Structure 1
Amino acid sequence: MTSFDCLVPQPVTVTPAEGAFVLDSRTTLVADPGAEAAARWLRRVLGAAAGLALPPSTVDTAAAGIELRIDPDAAPGPEGYRLEITPAAVRVVAADASGAFYAAQTLRQLLGADAFRAANVHSGEWSLPCGVVVDRPRFGWRGCLLDVARHFMPKDALLRFVDLLAAHKLNVLHLHLTDDQGWRMEIKRYPRLTEVGAWRHGSRVGWRLDDSHDGRPHGGYYTQADLREVVAYAAERGITVVPEVDVPGHVQAALAAYPELGNTGERLDVWPLWGVNENILSPSDAAVKFFQNVFDEVVDVFPSPVVCVGGDEVPMVQWERSPDVRRRMGELGLSEVAELHSWFLRQMAERLADHGRRALGWDEMAEGEMPEGVIVASWRGEEAGVLAAARGHDVVMCPEQHVYLDHRQAEHPDEPVPVGFLSTLQDFYRYDPLPADLDPATEHRVLGAQTQVWTEHLDSPRRVDYAAFPRLVAFAEVVWSPRQARDLADFERRLAEHHLPRLDALGVEYRPLTGPRPWQTRPGVPGRPRARVQPSSGTSSQQTR
């Protein structure tokens, strides 16, 4: 039997007690309306791992083996739960469906690593330690971005990634669906976006200064039915899928399909390289209407109250050189080319508002006039987020200096494709989403934080596993657990003794704490290490997306 000191993320409070609750073929499970998804999930995973059916009780619910109740007044807060385990019963009181699901995740952890397997390999009884857990998340936005545009992730692997986020009590999957290197969402009104834009002739390998690529075609896309399935699957696990269609830059895949949307009319291929691309959208009525129509289909598929419009890394060279763009600025009453960036994003944000949705944009959006209700994703550092909060905008903290999972995680000589800042497991754990210079009066504007998995150099689910884990585990504790409860030494113990065996059981090919395994290295593939220098909010430092 495990004990409560195995839990990840660290709960708010734990009060151990004597004894254990033993699960067997007679153990029942009852659930209130609202907790059915958690009950279905628990029956599914424990049915596979332990052969336990957990049938509904045929007697009074007070006598049930496991009871999942929804009672916001008796729970510790949104997404929170109170879990009491006695020798006679397991009782959960949750604030909502998400809280019930997180309590079920806690029960699975308490059963040990074998409970994370797809078939029963356990010997001995299945038991839970007695005691009380009172738990709730520190932040309401506990997110992870997954870039499926640079390297496509097949649907089954995407669903697996959802399960991994859920296992760590994260609740937002930010899905980066479009970029220069690929368009991954079916848009029925514009079929060439996937017919042409969903594949490229090759991919740059590592970080090179020339225009060479491997010449191996790469592609794939999700139908709208696929994405509805992903959304429903995630919702059952308390996760909101936030879609991103990036405009007005990072659009060469769209321009390859519809060149008339650009500024030059030049026929382009889907880009096989990485970095910042000068090919951006025209600020014409036609281009605006095209992408408003795209977002109309996006919101029809994704029920998320938030939709990302991108707005990052937009070189304005083509706008500055174009007489047509200068005439357009006169029509719009704009005096500076940079104003077109904010203007374009406002057209998308206002269209989303017409659908009752809020726009999320990268922090470049905050350099211009923003509509009310826009959320700023502060990625180039924390300064833009602090300023946006002071201006009355909600913020998601995702600074590349602290929470980019594609960045190198050690100075180890065999570290594969070492790009970006050095971001160790310990660095992730020490990060706090509330910056030291944030005015306490605006702390409520920080919705939470989000870690990012950009996939230029992550060309398979195995590579994503290596980059994400175990650092994502540390991030999960940062955004869930109370700041004062975090203890690096204790986290490292829980990780090594208890959580890495769970990841092993799930088949996660994480980076070992001592360095990569031989097959996880990439000899001869150049990286681009960078020094950790805090940029200003007005300058872009990444140059690799």
Structure 2
Amino acid sequence: MRKKACLLLILSWISLLPASAQLKEISTENLGLVPLPKEVKAYEGKFTLPSKVIISAKTKDELNTADFLKTYLGELGKEVTITPDAKLATIKLKIGGTGSSKNPESYELTVDKSGASLSASAGPGLFYASQTLMQLMPPKVQESIELPYVRITDEPTFKWRGNMLDVARHFFPVSFVKKYIDYLAAYKINTFHWHLTDDQGWRIEIKKYPKLTTISAFRNESLIGPQQLMKKPEDYKYDGMPHGGFYTQEQIKEVIDYAQKRYITIVPEIEMPGHSVAVLAAYPELACKPGPYQTRTLWGISEDIVCPSEQTFQFFEDVLTEVVQLFPGKYVHIGGDEAPKDRWRESDLVKDIMKKEKLKDVEKVQGWFNSRIEKFLLAKGKKLIGWDEILEGGITPKSTIMSWRGEKGGIEAARHGNEVVMSPSTHLYLDHGQNPVPHSPVEPTMIGGYLPLEKVYGYNPLSSELTPEQHKYILGPQANLWTEYITTPEKVEYMLFPRILALSEVAWTPYANKNYSDFLQRLGKQFPRLDAKNILYRVPEPGGMETNKIVTQGDKAILTLTTLYPGSQIRYTLDGTVPNETSDVYTKPLPIPINKNLKVRAITITPNGRHSVPAEVVIP
């Protein structure tokens, strides 16, 4: 009897285990999840979603996530009901519980014969669980929707996972800003840095200073072509078209509310003391040198910056008072970069300040300027963050550094115990080119050099020059998209995707767990999702034409071409012309004669007809 009772107890215990624990574990390679979860297991078996899906949710955060799932499932043709009764649910949402991690962004996701269960200790984690669940579903309507049996335990590596959009150089409407926030949310990026002001435009309504939106928000015209290639005055040509726009405070609130529902914090940037020509166009009395000024039509750095007068401090304190009332986040970005001091060196006012404050270097005046602004922000319950140039004038222990000129500034700041966001232009400036040919006519004009997907993916925000103790000051990475030459939403998407998926894994997945080849395999499964959302991403060109991948056999070079997009074609030419839909289809390795100087070019054509730029190689 005792043996029988024991056996019954064991059988009863087994029956209480998750269904996945009783199934054979299988490979996870076909899941295609980005970013890669911390721990993911897949099992034999699939759960078929019924035509009528019931989601259980009670709390505010559960109901918020339930609404996202309801919308997505509706797009897949499912009828969805939300109920507080978990016993009735196909998809169960739960915040809290004994097994929940204390990290508000961690989550657990299980799919088994009973359906899907998503749990987290707080709203952000539950929302991220839903994003992962949606990646397990098809991107568009199909007759039967099957979810693979999985058990996923996940949490991010970094708490700051950022992306910046510059709306000052080119203005983008609220509708696109919301889409941009959706892009970030889909890949678990939690910080949207909104670059709102610069020499070429001021984009936020400040009620106390109406001329910021009637004058500073508009410029007369824009430069045509890459400014960095212009050497002579006659090279500078303009489009003759006024450009501008701004967000009302009501629109700002609307965007903030939209972001909060996606657990994204918005960090506003109000540039000072440099990049402020647009301010001087409306309020020239804030300059050290008499005006007039006009909102700048050139890109780059201007010597005209605001003067550190009491009038200027009053202006920025008034502006920031309205800004902090709008933005609930912890940080306010003050820029602080690229502020030439020529005007300050010539200013009697600045000389008096240096004498009074015992400052021997004019660069230290900017440190004094920043300290006053920081003290004001701290009194409002906010933290100052600025580009790494603010180190040159001196910073307080409370300042946060965004390191963009490489990692040097971030390393210095972390060694002093300051918070750091790593954002080096060498790896995370998404306005840099994606084609190895500089200023290629087949790609949007770029600011910097060549920044391929692999280089973004390979970035590690935790510098080896810092100790493990100092690593704790690295909040995380951030990629930036400056828009001098990114003039339309379509060009934004082209520069953002697919590199933003690489960023998401840099920010979410431990560096030791990253593998580029594995990432590419998972990335291929994301392209149909981008297509379903009508995102005009850059179609990756075929691989295999890199010189280190070409195999020589006798008098032939063998090209083995690959494509990341499942179901796409590769078409090629051997005469140097750009391939199209009528060119030869690649079906097997290509033997190319050596000593003929043949230029081989190949493109990927996706199932919906989009083309990559051509990859090319000359076989000597």
Q: Report the TM-score when normalising by structure 1.
A: 0.90
For residues 73 and 240 of structure 1, do their structure 2 counterparts lie closer, same or farther at Cα, with a shift above 3 Å needed?
Answer: farther
Q: Is 2:346 the counterpart of 1:321?
A: yes
For residues 350 and 30 of structure 1, do their structure 2 counterparts lie closer, same or farther at Cα, with a shift above 3 Å needed?
Answer: same
8 A contact 1:14–1:133 mirrored in 2: yes
Q: Where do residues 74-473 of structure 1 align in structure 2 (5 Å cutoff)?
A: 74-76=99-101, 77-114=103-140, 122-208=141-227, 209=230, 210=233, 211-412=236-437, 413=440, 414-473=442-501
Task: Report deviation, 1:333.
Answer: 3.1
Cα deviation, 1:42-88, whole Å, max 9, x if unaligned, reads: 112222x1232421237x41342111111275234330100011121
2:47 to 21, 37, 44: 21
SS in 2 for 1:376: strand
Distance across 1 between alignment mates of 2:374 and 2:98:
36
Distance across 2 between alignment mates of 1:490 and 1:521:
21
Cα deviation, 1:316-339, whole Å, max 9, x if unaligned, reads: 000011223212322333222111
**Consecutive unaligned residues in structure 1, runs of 5 or more:** 115-121, 523-545
Distance across 2 between alignment mates of 1:521 and 1:157:
24
SS in 2 for 1:5: coil
Cα deviation, 1:90-121, whole Å, max 9, x if unaligned, reads: 1111121111111111111110221xxxxxxx
Q: Is 2:72 the counterpart of 1:45?
A: yes
Larger relative contact order (C-alpha < 8 A, sep ≥ 6)? Answer: 1
SS in 2 for 1:416: coil
Task: Report deviation, 1:315.
Answer: 0.2
2:534 to 507, 510, 523: 507
For residues 516 and 340 of structure 1, do their structure 2 counterparts lie closer, same or farther at Cα, with a shift above 3 Å needed?
Answer: farther
Distance across 2 between alignment mates of 1:24 and 1:279:
64
Task: Read off the aligned partner of 1:163 and give its amino acid letter.
Answer: D
Distance across 1 between alignment mates of 2:488 and 2:604:
16
For residues 314 and 516 of structure 1, do their structure 2 counterparts lie closer, same or farther at Cα, with a shift above 3 Å needed?
Answer: farther
Rg bigger for which structure? 2
SS in 2 for 1:141: coil
Distance across 1 between alignment mates of 2:114 and 2:44:
12
Distance across 2 between alignment mates of 1:292 and 1:15:
53
Task: Read off the aligned partner of 2:207 and give its amino acid letter.
Answer: K
Distance across 1 between alignment mates of 2:71 and 2:376:
40
SS in 2 for 1:450: strand
Distance across 2 between alignment mates of 1:207 and 1:395:
32
Distance across 2 between alignment mates of 1:389 and 1:337:
25
8 A contact 1:4–1:129 mirrored in 2: no
Distance across 1 between alignment mates of 2:464 and 2:451:
20
Distance across 1 between alignment mates of 2:164 and 2:225:
21
Task: Report deviation, 1:346.
Answer: 1.3
For residue 529 of structure 1, what is the aligned residue in structure 2? none
SS in 1 for 2:82: coil
Cα deviation, 1:272-318, whole Å, max 9, x if unaligned, reads: 11001111011100101110110110001110111101100010000
Task: Read off the aligned partner of 1:419 and give its amino acid letter.
Answer: I
Distance across 2 between alignment mates of 1:446 and 1:310:
19
Distance across 1 between alignment mates of 2:283 and 2:221:
20
Q: Where do residues 478-497 of structure 1 align in structure 2 (5 Å cutoff)?
A: 478-496=506-524
SS in 1 for 2:472: helix
8 A contact 1:4–1:110 mirrored in 2: no
For residue 526 of structure 1, what is the aligned residue in structure 2? none
Task: Report deviation, 1:519.
Answer: 10
SS in 2 for 1:35: helix
8 A contact 1:185–1:221 mirrored in 2: yes
Task: Read off the aligned partner of 2:540 and give its amino acid letter.
Answer: L
Task: Read off the aligned partner of 2:122 and give its amino acid letter.
Answer: D
Task: Report deviation, 1:215.
Answer: 1.3
SS in 2 for 1:493: helix
Task: Read off the aligned partner of 1:8 and give its amino acid letter.
Answer: V
Distance across 1 between alignment mates of 2:611 and 2:77:
34
Task: Report deviation, 1:224.
Answer: 0.5
Task: Read off the aligned partner of 1:357 and give its amino acid letter.
Answer: K
Root-mean-square deviation (Å): 2.0
Identity %: 40
Task: Report deviation, 1:162.
Answer: 0.5
Task: Report deviation, 1:3.
Answer: 7.5
Distance across 2 between alignment mates of 1:32 and 1:215:
56
Select between 340-349 and 3-12 the one with higher mean Cα deviation. 3-12
8 A contact 2:57–2:83 mirrored in 1: no
Distance across 2 between alignment mates of 1:88 and 1:3:
24
SS in 1 for 2:81: coil
8 A contact 2:202–2:217 mirrored in 1: yes
Task: Report deviation, 1:4.
Answer: 5.6
SS in 2 for 1:6: coil
Distance across 2 between alignment mates of 1:53 and 1:390:
55
Select between 63-72 and 387-396 the one with higher mean Cα deviation. 63-72
8 A contact 1:416–1:521 mirrored in 2: no
SS in 1 for 2:239: coil
Distance across 1 between alignment mates of 2:611 and 2:243:
21
8 A contact 1:4–1:14 mirrored in 2: no
SS in 1 for 2:252: helix
8 A contact 1:177–1:184 mirrored in 2: yes
Task: Report deviation, 1:28.
Answer: 0.7
Task: Read off the aligned partner of 1:129 and give its amino acid letter.
Answer: P
Select between 334-343 and 154-163 the one with higher mean Cα deviation. 334-343
For residues 67 and 486 of structure 1, do their structure 2 counterparts lie closer, same or farther at Cα, with a shift above 3 Å needed?
Answer: same
For residues 314 and 72 of structure 1, do their structure 2 counterparts lie closer, same or farther at Cα, with a shift above 3 Å needed?
Answer: farther
For residues 520 and 111 of structure 1, do their structure 2 counterparts lie closer, same or farther at Cα, with a shift above 3 Å needed?
Answer: closer
Cα deviation, 1:198-241, whole Å, max 9, x if unaligned, reads: 11011112223344321111001000110111111011011001
For residues 20 and 356 of structure 1, do their structure 2 counterparts lie closer, same or farther at Cα, with a shift above 3 Å needed?
Answer: same
Cα deviation, 1:151-182, whole Å, max 9, x if unaligned, reads: 00111011000001111110000000000000
